[in-house]
């Protein structure tokens, strides 16, 4: 999870209900290249039948769910608590 800790910190600092980042933005924030698996929606979204991956735990811990757009190479982070805008 340490690799994605800077993303958790970044997201926790956001005040908006939604934050859209490109894959490149995320790479800059975490200071490294996203894995090839990031080109698959399943990498971003947790499967309720499986244990959450480190990056998925980071999104949840920051209070966000994700809506990836693989073709556009963007991810919309949507705040889980709508009253914290």
* Rounded distance between C-alpha atoms, residue 8 and residue 5, angstroms: 5
* Rounded distance between C-alpha atoms, residue 56 and residue 60, angstroms: 6
* Rounded distance between C-alpha atoms, residue 57 and residue 50, angstroms: 12
Can you give the pLDDT of all 85 residues of the chain as single tens digits?
Answer: 589 999 999 999 999 999 999 999 999 999 999 999 999 999 999 888 888 899 999 999 999 999 999 999 999 999 997 554 4
> If you ran DSSP here, which 8-state letter would residue 53 be given?
P
Dihedral pair phi/psi, residue 28, rounded to 5°: -65, -40
What pLDDT sits at residue 84? Answer: 47
What pLDDT sits at residue 62? Answer: 95
What pLDDT sits at residue 85? Answer: 46
């Amino acid at each position: 999870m340490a690799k994605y800790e800077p993303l958790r910190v970044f997201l926790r600092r956001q005040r908006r209900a939604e934050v859209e980042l490109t894959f490149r933005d995320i790479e800059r924030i975490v200071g490294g290249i996203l894995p090839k698996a990031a080109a698959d929606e399943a990498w971003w979204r947790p499967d309720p039948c499986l244990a959450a991956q480190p990056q998925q735990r980071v999104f949840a811990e920051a209070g966000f769910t994700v809506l990836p757009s693989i073709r556009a190479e963007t991810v919309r982070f949507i705040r889980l608590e709508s009253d914290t805008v």
